[in-house]
């Protein structure tokens, strides 16, 4: 495309947006609202992923050793447990440390150590974490077959329910983003189509006087790209502001609730929203214009 033609397309796009200011503002607002809803759903899904990831990372298997196992044999058992398929981390917890941890749970008001004296009924144990949460039941079964292990506990029943919940959250999140994304595309395309429809007579006149399709299409293409770009910018600004406020309130009032604060993931969402808005604005104008170029 020649430089002079591009300059004309830019001037005509700006002139057209100024002349049809109400439709332009309506289109920008539609893009902004659509992408704001899509971005909110996207961040909700990322937070649900983050929450399930945190819950899964806290799942652990406690393998309690038999009382007659010596400390040396207990420590040597680490290699055998680490060799179990799917195990990511193995931590030995001596029975003395276990008693101290129990004392900390009860607080200073009750002295379990003084009450028991030199007698410690707790066994040595291993705390085992799986590389993948779904492998917890399988690892627990295999660890239970080790001869030095007396009891294995990992919250059986509760773990299965948690894993089922995380799978449901992931599936529901993907479906939610796709559904809202399709609705946003439809809404943006419809609004841009109305903008083009309002100027169908001008398009028809340009065709009758000999203007080529691309000569007519470029101003609309640039106008749609500008509408998408500005709408996406507004959506990202509002989403960033409200999400930062949400994070601050959660940290202050519900600090036990894990909320996504990883800037790389969040800014990736903003980046994709910016691209989606600009792309949909440009392509929406081009597609909506096709029927009016058939004169």
Domain holding 92, by residue range, is 60-153
Regarding whether 192 and 49 lie in a shared domain, the answer is yes
Residues 275 and 195 in one domain: yes
Considering the domain architecture, whether residues 36 and 143 belong to the same structural domain is answered as no
pTM for the model stands at 0.67
pLDDT surpassing 80 at residue 182: no
Residue 119 has a pLDDT of 63
20 in Cβ contact with 198 (< 8 Å): yes
What's the pLDDT at 6? 60
Considering the domain architecture, whether residues 49 and 129 belong to the same structural domain is answered as: no
pLDDT tens digits along 285-295: 767 666 655 54
Q: Which of 100, 131, 153 is where one domain is finished?
A: 153
- Which pLDDT value is given to residue 260? 82
pLDDT on residue 161:
75
Q: What is the pLDDT of residues 193-208, one digit of tens each?
A: 776 676 677 767 766 7
Ranges 105-109, 180-184, 207-211: which has the least confidence: 105-109
239, 282: one domain: yes
Q: How many CA atoms lie within 13 A of 121 on its CB side?
A: 4
Query: What are the tens digits of pLDDT across the range 9-51?
Result: 677 666 766 776 777 788 788 888 888 888 888 888 888 778 7
If asked whether residues 181 and 51 sit together in one domain, one would say yes
Please indicate whether residue 151 or residue 195 has the higher confidence score (pLDDT).
Answer: 151
Domain CATH for 139:
3.30.70.3040
In a shared domain, residues 51 and 65: no
Is the same domain home to 116 and 205?
Answer: no
pLDDT (average), residues 99-127: 65
- Across 146-158, average pLDDT: 82
Query: Pick from 107, 130, 153: which residue ends a domain?
Result: 153
The pair of structure tokens assigned to 59 is 């799942």
| Selected residue with higher pLDDT from 231 and 167 | 231
Q: Do 125 and 203 reside in the same domain of the chain? A: no
Between residues 228 and 287, which one has the greater pLDDT? 228
| Model confidence band, residue 108 (pLDDT cutoffs 50, 70, 90) | low
Count of domains in the chain? Answer: 2
Beta bridge pairs of residue 63:
126, 152
- Domain ends where: 130, 153, 176? 153
Decide which of 157 and 258 is more confident. 258
Q: Is the predicted pLDDT of residue 238 greater than 90, yes or no?
A: yes
- Residue 271 binned pLDDT confidence (cut-offs 50, 70, 90): very high
Q: Is the domain of 180 the same as that of 128?
A: no
Q: What is the pLDDT of residue 59?
A: 78
Q: What is the pLDDT of residue 110?
A: 55
């Amino acid at each position: 495309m020649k430089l002079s033609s591009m300059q004309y397309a830019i001037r005509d796009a700006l002139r057209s947006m100024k002349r049809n200011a109400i439709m332009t503002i309506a289109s920008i607002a539609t893009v902004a609202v659509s992408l704001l809803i899509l971005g909110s759903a996207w961040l909700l899904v990322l937070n649900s992923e983050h929450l399930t990831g945190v819950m899964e990372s806290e799942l652990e298997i406690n393998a309690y050793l038999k009382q007659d196992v010596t400390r040396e044999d207990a420590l040597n058992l680490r290699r055998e447990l680490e060799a179990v398929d799917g195990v990511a981390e193995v931590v030995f917890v001596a029975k003395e440390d276990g008693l101290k941890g129990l004392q900390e749970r009860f607080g200073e008001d009750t002295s379990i150590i003084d009450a028991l004296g030199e007698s410690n009924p707790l066994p040595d144990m291993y705390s085992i974490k799986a590389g993948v949460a779904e492998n917890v039941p399988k690892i627990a079964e295999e660890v239970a077959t080790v001869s030095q292990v007396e009891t294995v506990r990992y919250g059986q029943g509760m773990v299965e329910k948690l894993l089922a919940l995380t799978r449901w959250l992931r599936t529901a999140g993907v479906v939610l983003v796709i559904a809202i994304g399709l609705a946003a595309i439809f809404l943006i395309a419809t609004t841009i189509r109305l903008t083009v429809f309002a100027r169908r007579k001008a398009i028809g006149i340009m065709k009758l006087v000999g203007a080529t399709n691309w000569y007519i299409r470029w101003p609309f293409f640039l106008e749609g790209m500008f509408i998408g770009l500005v709408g996406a910018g507004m959506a990202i600004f509002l989403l960033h502001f409200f999400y930062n406020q949400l994070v601050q309130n959660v940290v202050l009032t519900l600090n036990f609730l894990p909320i996504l604060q990883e800037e790389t993931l969040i800014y990736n969402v903003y980046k994709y929203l910016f691209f989606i808005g600009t792309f949909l604005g440009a392509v929406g104008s081009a597609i909506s214009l096709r029927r009016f170029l058939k004169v």
